[in-house]
Amino acid sequence: MDVTEQTFASAVIERSKQIPVVVDFWAAWCAPCRQLGPVLERAVAERAGEVELVKVDTDANQNLAAQYRIQGIPAVKAFKNGEVVAEFTGALPAPAVERFLDGVAPSKADRLVAKGDETSLRRALELQPGRADAALPLARLLLARGDQDGAAELLANVTGSFAADGLSARISLERQADPRLQEAFMALDRGDAERGVDLLIDALPQANGDRDEIRKVVVGVLDELGADSELARSARRRLASALY
């Protein structure tokens, strides 16, 4: 698809928030461009639905060429979430183009995580052990059928995830069968994050040895709500006051 200065924002910037978009900056007089074009088209076609290819004629769209500092063509830039995430210049051979697209298009593990069923999530973890976005939903599936040990084992392999730490802490607290926390967990399970977080924070003053575990549960919930959540912002302030 040919893209112009008028359509670039929608066809590339906005579209790349849904799927990676590869932009081929070229010109009709450029022999290496004519060489690279079919190679790119074949490679993208093999990844149907995983990445899109658009072309920008630099002669007809000089403002775009200047904006993206195109100094030589062909120039290829890959966009994700509106930003350039990878690029190269020149007519690369087919194997190099394949490697470039492998770094841009969703991986096999990405595709398995997107499916979200138990078999796919387990396979994703075989490919990338400790992957949080696979371990978390799989752990929740296991918890839903009462397999606390299996869920805890999965989460133990995840590092750098507040949400995973929080769910692991919840499992530890649930094993103690503390009635003070059951209402909070029930609220979280029915999607009432505000009620669940309020009850957990209210439990902190009498928590004694469980304070850090409760803190991890709250932080995990707030992390999943996201930085833009007003509930998360207000709850963080309350949590800090309760702890310190």
Residues whose CB falls within 8 Å of the CB of residue 194, separated by 6 or more in sequence, listed in order: 231
The residue annotated as part of the active site, out of 11, 12, 23, 30, is: 30
In this predicted model, what pLDDT tens digit does every residue of 144-164 receive, in sequence order?
Answer: 999 999 999 999 999 999 999
The residue ranking higher by pLDDT, 180 or 55, is 55
Given a cut of 90, whether residue 26 has pLDDT beyond it is yes
d(CA 87, CA 204): 50
Per the CB < 8 A criterion, the answer to whether 82 and 53 are in contact is no
Q: Could you give the domains of the chain?
A: 8-102 (3.40.30.10), 108-243 (1.25.40)
Q: Is 55 exposed, middle or buried (0-12, 13-18, 19+ CB in 10 A)?
A: middle
Is 30 a residue of the active site? yes
Most confident of 47-56, 79-88, 173-182: 79-88
DSSP character for 19? S
The residue annotated as part of the active site, out of 33, 51, 203, 214, is: 33
Look at 125-139, 155-169, 197-211 and tell me which has the smallest mean pLDDT: 197-211
